Amino acid sequence: MPEEMTQKAIPRENITQSDFPEPEDYFRVFEGKPAISPRNKTEKYTHFNQFPGYQVLQKRKVEAQQNNISVPFFLTSESINNDRININDSEYINFSGYNYLGLSGYKYVSDAAKAAIDKYGTSVSASRIVSGQIPLHLELERVISNFLGVDDCIVFVSGYCTNVTTIGHLFGRKDLVIHDNLAHNSIQTGCQLTKAQRLIFPHNNWDKLEELLDIHREEYQRVLIILEGAYSMDGNIPDIRRAIDIKRRYNALLMIDEAHSLGVIGETGGGVGEYFSIDRKNVDIWMGSLSKTFASCGGFIAGNQALIEYMKFSTPGFIFSVGLSPPDAAAALAAFEIIQREPERVKRLHKNTLLFLELAKQHGLDTGLNSGTPIVPIVIGNAISCMQLSQRLFDLGIHVQPIIYPAVMQNDARLRFFITSMHTEDQIRYTVSMLAQELAKLEKR
Ligand SMILES: Cc1ncc(COP(=O)(O)O)c(C=O)c1O
């Protein structure tokens, strides 16, 4: 077995802050102070093809070519991203999209979006605070707050922007923000944007979180702890009850990003609130994305009345950005309606996830930290092997995306399978058996 295949992923519990890429490191090489005066005429500082990051990118493309890998990114699909997908006139079983309940492409949802276009056009053409608000915005915010059981909600045009602008805006120089080291890039970027001090604790390591709070709590005014409801690269669920207990004892605030958990976990898709049977009011800031289960585009923050009122009048990513487009608002609204009207979708999603995980276990596949969510990583370790495996599966009619650095750490590459309620038992059985077969072949080389 080649050495590259034996490189095992570092156990997530042992990851330290320095092992994980900072967003600013992506494809950048720091060169320190310019060696020559920037006023000198040099292409180095004026041509994008001279940017060190661009050159790293070219090197990676050559590496892929040398390993006979066609770059598996930016594949263009010509169909709905569902249990199947059409790419280059061929149909594939698809595990590369997070249309968890099959609501994007569902006629009821599409019809709602079309009706909204007929009534309001394709854009609201202004920020909501200055004439861009339509009734659909308010209705969607009401439906989301009711779904969660909190006072109020504010919707944004992007899930990513929701985290960046919310965290970036609410906290300042005298505050502390502290997040799990597997937090999504949007959380990390929001933390970098604030003038608050930032700390990172090892994944799900509550003792370490408490230790950091013991040492630092007293130095700051507000302290925000940020977690995800289901981690987007690993598919595991943190112990929210423990987090609530900690935030109470240290007089801190708790924010939970439910991008991959709302509509997904909990018996009826009620997210971590339902999964842990907790009163949602115990968490200060709920964040969600509309682009996953909710068949749309955008994000939201939900919480108490004061938080939402303050944010509506002051958050830069809200007041200086256009309101959610009419079809996006209508699609998300319809999706929330269907989740409640057709609970069998969530049940099917759970059944499919269980089947995939059971089969993976039978074949001895490494599903990493997955704790029963429909985000199933198959941890490979080496990035080239991971891309090769993805390509072999593609040749067998299965589309699954390789996840490599910087989305995860070096040597922690994995195939990430998103299971949906639309997958059939046959699709899942075929996929897991091909996956085991091709991985074994790759390891034997
Ligand atoms: C945990 C998490 N938060 C936020 C986002 C951003 O959401 P969106 O893709 O809707 O912008 C993502 C995207 O995948 C995510 O995984």
The per-residue pLDDT for range 71-104, each reduced to its tens digit, is: 888 999 999 999 999 999 999 999 999 999 999 9
The per-residue pLDDT for range 203-232, each reduced to its tens digit, is: 999 999 999 999 999 999 999 999 999 999
Do 253 and 357 reside in the same domain of the chain? no
Beta-strand pair 413-418/253-257: unpaired
The Cα–Cα gap between 369 and 240 comes to 16
Do 161 and 275 reside in the same domain of the chain? yes
Distance 259 CA to ligand 1 centre (A): 6
Instruction: Decide if pLDDT at 416 tops 80.
Output: yes
Domain end point (choices 322, 341, 360): 341
User: Hey, whose CA ends up nearest to atom 8 of ligand 1?
Assistant: 159
Do 197 and 306 reside in the same domain of the chain? yes
Domain end point (choices 274, 308, 341): 341
Query: Which CATH number does the domain housing residue 384 bear?
Result: 3.90.1150.10
- Within a domain: 362: yes
Length of the chain: 445
- Within a domain: 363: yes
Do 337 and 362 reside in the same domain of the chain? no
Do 302 and 367 reside in the same domain of the chain? no
Do 278 and 162 reside in the same domain of the chain? yes
Does residue 328 line the site of ligand 1, with CB under 6 A?
no
Q: Is the pTM of this model over 0.85?
A: yes
Does residue 291 line the site of ligand 1, with CB under 6 A?
yes
Do 211 and 305 reside in the same domain of the chain? yes
The Cα–Cα gap between 112 and 329 comes to 9
Distance 445 CA to ligand 1 centre (A): 37
Do 254 and 351 reside in the same domain of the chain? no
SS3 at position 176:
strand
Query: Which CATH number does the domain housing residue 281 bear?
Result: 3.40.640.10
Give me the pLDDT at residue 410, please: 84
Question: What are the start-end ranges of the H helices in 72-106?
Answer: none
Distance 122 CA to ligand 1 centre (A): 23
- Within a domain: 381: yes
- Within a domain: 36: no
Give me the pLDDT at residue 407, please: 84
In the chain, count of helices (H) and strands (E)?
Answer: 15, 13
Does residue 158 line the site of ligand 1, with CB under 6 A?
yes
Mean pLDDT of 138-144: 98
Maximum alpha-carbon separation in the chain? 67
Beta-strand pair 84-87/90-94: antiparallel
- Please, what sign has the CA dihedral across residues 189, 191, 195, 197? negative
Residue 45: pLDDT band with limits 50, 70, 90: confident
Distance 162 CA to ligand 1 centre (A): 9
Q: How many domains would you assign to the chain?
A: 2
Tokens, residue 237: 């669920």
Q: In what order do the strands lie in the sheet with 398-399?
A: 84-87, 90-94, 398-399
Q: Which residues, in sequence order, are bridge partners of residue 178?
A: 199, 225
Mean pLDDT of 278-287: 97
Domain end point (choices 341, 369, 398): 341
Mean pLDDT of 115-143: 98
The Cα–Cα gap between 352 and 100 comes to 11
Does residue 159 line the site of ligand 1, with CB under 6 A?
yes
Do 317 and 387 reside in the same domain of the chain? no
Do 270 and 199 reside in the same domain of the chain? yes
Do 297 and 394 reside in the same domain of the chain? no
Query: What is the domain extent for residue 362?
Result: 65-94+343-444
Beta strands in 131-241, from DSSP E residues, in sequence order: 152-156, 176-180, 197-201, 223-228
Distance 431 CA to ligand 1 centre (A): 26
Do 200 and 284 reside in the same domain of the chain? yes
- Residue 170 CB-half CA count within 13 A: 28
